[in-house]
Amino acid sequence: MTLGEFISYLGNNPFYPLFFFFILPVAALLARYMAKGEGHLSPWCIYYSALIYLSVIPGIFAILLNIYHMLFEKRSIYEMNIMVDVLPILSMLLTLFLIKKNVDFKEIPGFGKLTGFVGSIAGLMLVFFVLDKMHLIVFSYLPIQWLAITLVVAFFVIRLVTKKVLTQ
């Protein structure tokens, strides 16, 4: 299954993205009421960390994919699929807003500055888009699981390298 086939599948089966992107803010809202004042303590900080990863990665991917479609493929804004193009962004913003109400992002391990995390994810995806557009590496024909594995491995390599450079 390629990325295009995966996006078409999600657009044709709206239950899956609707459920996933609805459950993230609901989980953040439940944690807000269950962990009042304890969001920086374990296990809540790990829970919030997972929620942030689950909401930010698809949200940033949707933003970059929309920019890519508008700039390079000249796709009209009227052709946007609400479930695939808009819902991840709204879910990310709402989830981050609800998490921020209970705990400061500096207190969640690995998220001292959320903008750095979001920027590194966006930068990595932007590099992948440029490499694909220049036909150096063709990511759009990769099966979706290999694209996800490549993205995760590249993200952790970049984080490891930056940690080593910054500590020296």
Query: What pLDDT was estimated at residue 165?
Result: 67
Query: What pLDDT was estimated at residue 46?
Result: 84
d(CA 166, CA 168): 6
The total number of residues shown for the chain amounts to 168
Average pLDDT over residues 142-162: 76
Q: Which domain holds residue 163?
A: 3-167
Query: What pLDDT was estimated at residue 22?
Result: 95
Place of tokens 């709402």: 94
Query: pTM here?
Result: 0.69
Query: What pLDDT was estimated at residue 131?
Result: 72
Query: What pLDDT was estimated at residue 117?
Result: 67
Domain count within the chain: 1
Place of tokens 């910054």: 166
Q: What are the C-alpha distances in Å from 48 to residues 18, 20, 90, 109, 161?
A: 21, 16, 18, 9, 25
Average pLDDT, the chain: 80
Decide: helix, strand or coil at residue 140: coil
Average pLDDT over residues 130-148: 69
Query: What pLDDT was estimated at residue 142?
Result: 67
Beta bridge partners of 143: 2
Q: Is the pLDDT of residue 98 over 80?
A: yes
Query: What token pair was written down for 25?
Result: 């803010």
d(CA 38, CA 45): 9
Average pLDDT over residues 126-140: 68
Query: What pLDDT was estimated at residue 39?
Result: 62
Nearest residue to 14 via CA among 61, 75, 82: 82
Q: Is the pLDDT of residue 107 over 70?
A: yes
